[in-house]
Amino acid sequence: MSKQTIIVWFRADLRIHDHPALVTAIANADQVVPVFVLDKNALTGRFSSANRNRFLVECLEDTRKSLQNIGGDLVIRQGDAVSELKALAKELDAEAVYYTADYTPYALQRDRQVEDQLTKEGLEVRSFGGKLAVASVQKLATKSGSPFKVFTPFYKAWLQVKRRDVVDPPKKVPFPPGLKVGRLPALDDVTQSDMLSPDVANGGESAARKALTNFLDGPITYYDSDNNDMAKNGTSRVSPYLHFGCLSVREIETVLPDSNGARAWHRQLAWREFYHYVLLTFPHPQQEFQERYRDMQWDSDSQLLEAWKDGKTGYPAVDAAMRQLKQEGWMHNRARLIVGSFLTKDLGIDWREGEAHFMQWLLDGDMANNNGNWQWIASVGVDPAPVFRRLYNPSSQRDKYDPNGDYVRRYVPELTRVPDEHLSEPWRMSEDKQKKYGCEIGKDYPSPIVDHKLARQAVLERYRSA
């Protein structure tokens, strides 16, 4: 039976394409009210980020415009989700709240509270898929019934899961006339300007669809060979849009071309699903997944940590990557691996420090992906491998994945004139060469803060004795 009014509670699903909750609400009700509740605590909490807050505001603006174009709007409320939804439901005399399921421990707890409180008020509260390609991904299990801990068998099982159909964007939203929709927050309300990156991508579904089209029209063909080259535009850069739900990964699956590049890219999307699965089946992100490493002794040296954060370690690949992060609010995946290995293995610093720093700056900063990847590169997480396999030499990584030096020179201007053969280890240049190329080590560019060879021995011992 059709309902009079359904509220669609938007969260990390800021799009109108392939949005099952929105489309079902429109099919089931006379009036539909999309709402986003801005929770100030979430905007300023431990894992908040000025870059992501700004991006969120842009996503909200874009979603509101798209909904307005089809007769709807996006109501903005500020405060705690339970109270705001309760108040709005009362004001509208609504009968149901629909939303897209989310999987972080915080979101799950919040959604349980909303469900408890609103069902008590007689409302129907219903969650829909849309965040991942596979709904109920947590049901996947090994033959013995335990959760997957290794990516490849998960991936094989995940590929076999029957997918839902993609839903078309709505043509019309039956929005009640005269409802106060509320102002979008001003950027100053949600961001600290000194923590904003200058060269960030714009938020919103419109920008997301452009970025996706650009990638599908070209680079995806060569993704399998180009994805590790840090200077090339070889990856899609859609990660922030996936994080905020401006793109539906299920819809993406239906438009992928048939090529090795596209298959390799689809496999990367599966890593995203895997880390969400891991967070659902092991919801303790602050704990090492591997029990044997939970009491590991990490070093704490604030000077080394600051040098890493500022991109002043003396290792060009690490420094370029850390500066890219602050400049663009994004970092190439290969670079994330290099700096993650460097922090945890060369400097022996707790992976949680790296995780927190990334969360502060990344537009795509995401509890599941960030935590999962930090644990992976620190060799304490799922998909285990011997420590030395994820202990990268930052110099040979630079040789291999930035062969022309374009990446390093783009982000570390002090090294612009240093010739290729010295770009991985500039401290090995003679004094004459340092002068000639305008890069005196210790003056224009830092000396290496650690000796990789010595650090390698120490870290192998640290993990052996853990």
| Chain position carrying tokens 């299920």 | 250
In the complex with ligand FAD, the residue whose CB is nearer, 60 or 363, is 363
Q: How far is the CB of 240 from ligand FAD (least distance, A)?
A: 8
In the complex with ligand FAD, the residue whose CB is nearer, 86 or 357, is 357
73 contacts 175 by C-beta, under 8 angstroms? yes
Residues contacting 288, CB < 8 A, separation 6+: 294, 296, 375, 380, 381
Q: How far is the CB of 339 from ligand FAD (least distance, A)?
A: 7
Query: Which DSSP string do the residues of 136-202 spell out, in sequence order?
Result: TGGG---TTSPPP-SHHHHHHHHHHSPPPPPPPPPS---PPTT----PPPPHHHH--GGG--TTPPP
Residue of 48, 100, 127, 239 that binds ligand FAD (CB under 6 A): 239
- Residue 68 DSSP class: H
- For residue 354, the SS3 value is helix
Q: Is 232 in the site for ligand FAD (CB under 6 A)?
A: no
- Residue 297 DSSP class: P
Residue of 15, 110, 237, 422 that binds ligand FAD (CB under 6 A): 237
In the complex with ligand FAD, the residue whose CB is nearer, 33 or 238, is 238
In the complex with ligand FAD, the residue whose CB is nearer, 88 or 238, is 238
For the record, the structure tokens of 61 come out as 């603006």
Burial call 79-104: b when 16+ CB within 10 Å, e when fewer: ebbbebbbebbeebebbbbbbbbbbb
Residues contacting 148, CB < 8 A, separation 6+: 140, 141, 142, 154, 157, 274, 277
Binding track, positions 313-342, relative to ligand FAD; x by CB under 6 A:
--------------------x--xx--x--
- The residues in 348-387 that bind ligand FAD, with binding defined as CB under 6 A, are 358, 362, 364-366, 369-370, 373-374, 377
440 contacts 326 by C-beta, under 8 angstroms? no
- The residues in 208-227 that bind ligand FAD, with binding defined as CB under 6 A, are 227
For the record, the structure tokens of 356 come out as 């927190």
In the complex with ligand FAD, the residue whose CB is nearer, 114 or 331, is 331
Binding track, positions 258-277, relative to ligand FAD; x by CB under 6 A:
-------x--xx-xx--x--
In the complex with ligand FAD, the residue whose CB is nearer, 31 or 369, is 369
In the complex with ligand FAD, the residue whose CB is nearer, 361 or 437, is 361
In the complex with ligand FAD, the residue whose CB is nearer, 64 or 276, is 276
- Would you tell me which residues interact with ligand FAD (CB under 6 A)? 227, 235-239, 242-243, 265, 268-269, 271-272, 275, 333, 336-337, 340, 358, 362, 364-366, 369-370, 373-374, 377
